[in-house]
Structure 1
Amino acid sequence: MDMDENKPTEKTELGMLRIDLQDSLRQSSVDPRKLSSFQRILLTTDGTVTEILEAQLWEAIHIVKLFQDITDAETAIPFLDIGPGTRIMVRKVLLRGKYSHKNYIYAESILVPERLPDNIRESLMETQKPIGQLIMQNRMESFREILTCKLEEARELSEYFDIPDDAMLVSRTYRVFANRQPIMLITEKFPEAAFQQTD
């Protein structure tokens, strides 16, 4: 029997256990076969991206807040099961190497503050800690559902990564559930040319 017979020949035939990930890749412009192993980990992980970066890069990662505000949603956000006028927190951050000062990932998130414990909500406002780290520290049970994966031009984000405007970013969007309801919607982006070397 040919051992290659069971290998996927198309990105839509990956046979992954996670249905959400398989569905998002099937509908995306991202071909996982063209990514490095570490890029695929970043794209598909259900873990804390900050800790994964630290383990791979052997460098402490810290958060640089670019924008944060609490406002009312202008329109309904179906992925969060909320309608217009719902109070939301909007955050835009960079995951940056503490010593290299290199920006590794850009992330933007929409959170529903009323669905978060008070201590996590306060820490988001007052500290530089990543969302995933706060969830872990507070032992908050959560589940992540990957919604979309895609390639897109860097455009205004290019300055953060020192790349041309038309360079491509790998992007994924997922939502986090706690107590059986979605509490946040997160999009993470990194340059397609980044993390090619995994040694």
Structure 2
Amino acid sequence: MRSNLQQSLSCTRIDPFTLSNFQKILLTTDGTITHILEVCLLEAIQIVKLSEELVLPTQDIPFVELTQKTEIIDRKVLLRGKKSGKNFIYAESLIFPEKIDEKFRDKLLGTKTPIGKIWFDCRVETFKEIFNSGKEPANELASYFNIQSESNLLFRTYGVFSKQQLIMLITEKFPESYFTEAC
């Protein structure tokens, strides 16, 4: 197991041996979650945009050095099965528009296409680095998954780099009770 993931899991008191193989894949992959879900669940995945807005940060963003005059795209989405209608993943993305190509930005803002598919369509070369992972209470996100607010979500936060620059910070969350069986 990569040392940064092992350190993250131990800091948040997640025992990797309590996770299913599918959960470990979702927490450690540097591939796109959408594609992995489609392959493992045998279901097309669509995104549901909850919000997407251009904002000025009002506080420091962990893992990122920005001035308060740097605009970011704050995007919140659900990855939902097209047939089942089940929400599988909640994702929050902070995107740095001045660091991404115009075609990519237009597709991101103008379509309901998952980020990973836009990377592929635009042929964006990326490198991903996991910064943090762990578990936390679902709280206000519980309603998206039809679980109790005190139920746990597993999460990971990673940076997406292109041309050696951080272009996005993404956090993906899913209920601890999901994906407990083999893919």
TM-score range, shorter chain: over 0.9
Cα deviation code 1:118-137 (max 9, x no counterpart)? 01101111000111111111
> How many angstroms does 1:52 deviate by?
0.1
Aligned partner of residue 55 in structure 2, secondary structure: strand
Q: Which SS does the other structure have where 2:120 is aligned?
A: helix
Are 1:105 and 1:189, in contact at CA under 8 Å, matched by a contact in 2? yes
Is 1:175–2:166 an aligned residue pair? no
User: Which is worse superposed, 77-86 or 177-186?
Assistant: 77-86
Are residues 1:88 and 2:67 paired? no
What is the total number of aligned residue pairs between the two structures? 183
Higher relative contact order (CA 8 A, sep 6+): 2
C-alpha offsets along residues 84-143 of structure 1, whole Å, 9 cap, x if unaligned? 121100000000000000000000010100100001101111000111111111111111
TM-score for both structures, normalised by structure 2:
0.96
Residue 28 (structure 1) shift: 2.2
In the alignment, structure 1 residue 150 sits paired with structure 2 residue 134:
yes
Residue 28 of structure 2: which of 44, 47, 51 is its match?
Answer: 44
Q: In the alignment, which residue of structure 1 is the partner of 2:94?
A: 110
| CA apart distance, 1:184 | 0.5
- Structure 2 stretches of 5 or more lacking a match? none
Match runs of 1:15-164 below 5 Å: 16=1, 18-77=2-61, 79-164=63-148
Larger radius of gyration: 1
SS in 1 for 2:49: strand
What is aligned with 2:174? 190
In the alignment, structure 1 segments of 5+ residues that lack a partner are 1-15
Distance 2:134 2:176 in 1: 11
Q: What amino acid maps onto 1:147 in structure 2?
A: F
**Within 2, Cα distance between the matches of 1:189 and 1:171?**
4
Using the TM superposition, give the Cα deviation of residue 35 of structure 1 relative to its aligned residue in structure 2, in angstroms. 0.7
User: How much has 1:78 moved relative to structure 2?
Assistant: 5.1
CA RMSD of aligned residues (A): 1.2
CA distance in structure 1 between the aligned counterparts of 2:132 and 2:45, rounded to whole angstroms: 25
- Alignment correspondent of 1:4: none
The superposition leaves residues 152-181 of structure 1 with CA deviations (integer Å, 9 ceiling, x where unpaired) of: 111100000000110111011111011111
Amino acid at match of 2:44: A
- Contact preservation (8 Å) 1:79, 1:182: no
1: CA distance between counterparts of 2:142 and 2:60? 29
Runs of 4+ in 1 over 6 A off after TM superposition: none
